[in-house]
Amino acid sequence: MYAFGSRGNTGPNFNLLLLIISQLGLHTVEGVWPLPQALASSAERYSLNPQAFDFAYGKRSAAQQGCSVLDAAFKRYFTLIFQDYTSGRWNTGLETFSQLVYQDDSGSYFVNKTEIDDFPRFQFRGILLDTSRHYLPVQAILKTLDAMAYSKFNVLHWHIVDDPSFPYQSYTFPDLSSKGAFHPVTHIYTQSEVRRVISFARLWGIRVLPEFDSPGHTKSWGKGQSNLLTPCYRGGTPSGTFGPINPVLPSTYQFMERLFKEVSSLFPDSYIHLGGDEVDFSCWRSNPTVRSFMQKMRFGVDFTKLQAFYMENIVNITSALNKTSVVWQDVFDYHKRRSSLSVVEVWREGCYLCEVRKVTKAGLRVILASPWYLDQAGPKHNWARYYSVWPLAFKGSEEQKKLVIGGEVCMWGEYVDATNLAPRLWPRASAAAERLWSDEKQTSSVAKAFPRLQDFRCMRGIQAEPLTIGHCQHEYLGV
Amino acid sequence: MYAFGSRGNTGPNFNLLLLIISQLGLHTVEGVWPLPQALASSAERYSLNPQAFDFAYGKRSAAQQGCSVLDAAFKRYFTLIFQDYTSGRWNTGLETFSQLVYQDDSGSYFVNKTEIDDFPRFQFRGILLDTSRHYLPVQAILKTLDAMAYSKFNVLHWHIVDDPSFPYQSYTFPDLSSKGAFHPVTHIYTQSEVRRVISFARLWGIRVLPEFDSPGHTKSWGKGQSNLLTPCYRGGTPSGTFGPINPVLPSTYQFMERLFKEVSSLFPDSYIHLGGDEVDFSCWRSNPTVRSFMQKMRFGVDFTKLQAFYMENIVNITSALNKTSVVWQDVFDYHKRRSSLSVVEVWREGCYLCEVRKVTKAGLRVILASPWYLDQAGPKHNWARYYSVWPLAFKGSEEQKKLVIGGEVCMWGEYVDATNLAPRLWPRASAAAERLWSDEKQTSSVAKAFPRLQDFRCMRGIQAEPLTIGHCQHEYLGV
């Protein structure tokens, strides 16, 4: 009943051909989110009998029985589609198809005859969660993964540590969390919890991309690891405060190598995010040891060279661990030897497409985040703003456009924790999701998208806030 | 152990004198929200034994054993104070006291010797919930009442119906909800549900003030009650659309009388809110019957006179039912015979204190809402904004100041439903709560309030969003 076809290795691509049982009547399909690349729906309606319903792997599909991700998806979607039907049957379908199934007043299930050809526009469709500024309980992360899958997001960018706290529990350096987390027991992620997140994500078709941002944004690292941060000086003596990671000590790189070795083996994804944003040079500048290192290296007074030196060392460490590194755009901006970089995440406001153009011109891959900073709230930050983003609207060659591998919704944690994460993400993140999944020409109209998104936000019991006055058939009750 | 004193009838006033068992050590009280009028805390620490702990009515207290509200409060607060102690004992204490009790690492309970003298600054401390633009499940309303009590709010202003939907199920006019609600079964409030809300609120010391806003904001009323709304005309013929309630038909007032009779008996509060805001005169102007009524009444072309005529009729209906009417400021603004009015709610932006001054000069009571429109989100709408409100900072006599009976947080429902109600209300509404409860001189500093509010937002498992980077000892887990 379901045919899968593969179009290379860029995500969950499939063609759907729905051949269903018996025709019954007419129904207007209310819409699917994000919009498939091609969807031809007819008025022909078929009834679905949960007891006779089955999904099978297509004969020509690259995936075959035993594929744990699809098997798990079948199970999940069977329950989602046939909500009233609580048998132990495990075969189910997928998101787009499930959104096409509806019930009549008597509770029977129907689907209209529909042909779907679908694949993602961009291979990288991410959401960044920040667990340093506020700790997010694992349950909140799993709930987010669940909601992400409904919008076809496929990357969780886990900004796991930062200045305020270090909740990642390292085996190699246990003091990092025991001294650097908000609480050494209740506000940490154990390795088994991290594994739980990763394996849950995997079954939803979501990669987990960890970020260990350095050399800035590392205040919390210093609490559990002495001699890691740069001692700042005032008037020729140490002031007692600390700056970015100290780039002049060999011990720094030994530490980072051991940390990334552990992290690389725990997080199976081929990407790793190294941060590199917003480094404040004032502390480095104040430190006499750093200054004499600068002289020795002939960096003059250009501290961007020192940061480039540091980042190149970190990139080399992770390359040796077979990881593709992602860095924030700052690293690209000051780097001379750009060929050592791989993927650049563009995050600054202003002409972000100018930056995308520059990065792709240098032959590097781009993840676009600037227009999708959803941690911001208020009337100006509505879904339509996040929908009206055109990631490829810059002057550049076809090769350059191909280097834009996707985009990312950033949910920074200054004002966000488990109390407000879900309604701040949803349904606004779904607007970005459609931009990243669907064909741009078919989804250029905010007005046309509106009723589909209205329907979508009520689905699945996600705590998605309202777009405007109205109601859901089933109101959110998890209050 | 607990002494209650009464200071008249303006809300839960009490003096607390804590006389507790055995001294043990030192502790710094982290703060109480909202700040009591007087709180003198000493370093003397007493241990509390849940098994021996008891509350008693003060001998001179107006309230004595058998007072159901206090008895229920005792029970509730015993559990809140002694969270680890799950015996069947029922006597408990009250909010301020409960916030002073703390545990040491071994789990023992302590309170520092403290004398508290407390009473509210304003008698009316309300929160408006709008259940027309989005339906709020009863559970979400009860949760809100629960959270309101912790901030010492004492009025739920239930804006129960409006243009988009009519969820109130009337016995007298069942079609109002069966045709005017978003759904006639799942999106209504039955009379028994309304009673449940009222009796729950009562035990938390909260009044329920219902609003049936008219003659504008009544589109949904027209669906279940024909000949109630004014037919609009275009080019001499009815256009098929309808405007505000038709003020020229006797049947209108017969309908309103029967509706308010039912409503007045269901809602025991002595106040009733009659709305009266934002009436669009264009439909009235278009209607020939309305125009000839205007002529007959010698209103000329001044439709504010027609609205005043309408409102005066409604006020008379509810006065005859022994209710004190509250109206939005619009009604005051155009009313000539202001003596027929009682309580005016000031809601418009701009110089709201100018309006407060005018209304109190006319000898009418005021509820201030303008500065507390919390349905708005975004960085400019932070807690400090709602804290920095000075309701009595207008030129006026002592008598005028006394007429400001309180204030109200408005949570309009355009973009709010059960998915985001709690984090949008809390902790920002608590900032307004302290302004309405506490002494202004003692609570004029945002900086001093900040750490207390930080602590407060983590209490009681309320889904209160973060103020800034940080953490709660017990993170919100209801995700």
- Condensed to tens digits (0 to 9), the pLDDT of residues A182-240 reads 999 999 999 999 999 999 999 999 999 999 999 999 999 999 999 999 999 998 899 99
- Condensed to tens digits (0 to 9), the pLDDT of residues B39-54 reads 777 778 888 887 777 7
Active site residue A278: yes
Kindly report the pTM of this predicted structure. Answer: 0.88
Residue B96: its pLDDT value, please?
A: 77
CA–CA distance, A98 with A55 (Å, rounded to integer)? 12
Handedness of CA A187, A188, A190, A196 (dihedral sign): positive
Q: Among A56-60, A260-264, B18-22, B320-324, where is mean pLDDT lowest?
A: B18-22
B201, B202, B205, B207 alpha-carbon torsion, rounded to 10°: 70
Residue B14: its pLDDT value, please?
A: 37
Compare all CA atoms of chain B with the CA of A462 and give the residue at the minimum distance: B419
- Please give the mean pLDDT across all residues of chain B: 88
Compare all CA atoms of chain A with the CA of B412 and give the residue at the minimum distance: A469
Size of interface A-B (CB pairs under 8 A): 135
Residue A106: its pLDDT value, please?
A: 79
3-state percent breakdown (helix, strand, coil) of chain B, nearest 5: 35, 20, 45
Which of the four pLDDT bands, split at 50, 70 and 90, describes residue A325?
very high
Compare all CA atoms of chain A with the CA of B130 and give the residue at the minimum distance: A469
CA–CA distance, A100 with A97 (Å, rounded to integer)? 5
Contact A419 B469 (CB under 8 A): no
Which residues of A are less than 8 Å from B165 in CB distance? 471
CA–CA distance, A299 with A143 (Å, rounded to integer)? 48
CA–CA distance, A33 with A22 (Å, rounded to integer)? 26
Contact B469 A414 (CB under 8 A): yes
- CB-nearest to B415 from A418, A422, A466 is A466
**What would the mean pLDDT of B452-476 be, rounded to a whole number?**
92
Give the residue from A316, A325, A317 showing the smallest Cα distance to A271: A325
Instruction: Give Cβ neighbours of residue B271 (< 8 Å, ≥ 6 apart).
Output: B207, B209, B323, B324, B325, B326, B343
Contact B469 A379 (CB under 8 A): no
CA–CA distance, A428 with A435 (Å, rounded to integer)? 11
The interface pTM score, or ipTM, of the predicted complex is 0.86
- CB-nearest to B137 from A380, A422, A477 is A477
**What would the mean pLDDT of B110-138 be, rounded to a whole number?**
91
Residue A83: its pLDDT value, please?
A: 67
Q: At residue A131, does pLDDT exceed 80?
A: yes
Q: At residue B232, does pLDDT exceed 70?
A: yes
CA–CA distance, B72 with B145 (Å, rounded to integer)? 15
Smallest CA–CA separation between A412 and chain B, in Å? 10
Which of the four pLDDT bands, split at 50, 70 and 90, describes residue B84?
low
Smallest CA–CA separation between B40 and chain A, in Å? 32
> Would you please indicate which residues of B are annotated as catalytic (active-site) residues?
278
Domains of chain A: residue spans and CATH: 38-117 (3.30.379.10), 124-458 (3.20.20.80)
Contact B476 A418 (CB under 8 A): yes
CA–CA distance, B189 with B195 (Å, rounded to integer)? 10
Give the residue from B371, B342, B225, B202 showing the smallest Cα distance to B273: B342
| Cis amide leading into B371 (omega within 30) | no
- Condensed to tens digits (0 to 9), the pLDDT of residues B347-390 reads 999 999 999 999 999 999 999 999 999 998 988 999 999 999 99
Which of the four pLDDT bands, split at 50, 70 and 90, describes residue B95?
confident
- Per the residue annotation, which of A115, A193, A262, A278 is the catalytic one? A278
Which of the four pLDDT bands, split at 50, 70 and 90, describes residue A85?
low
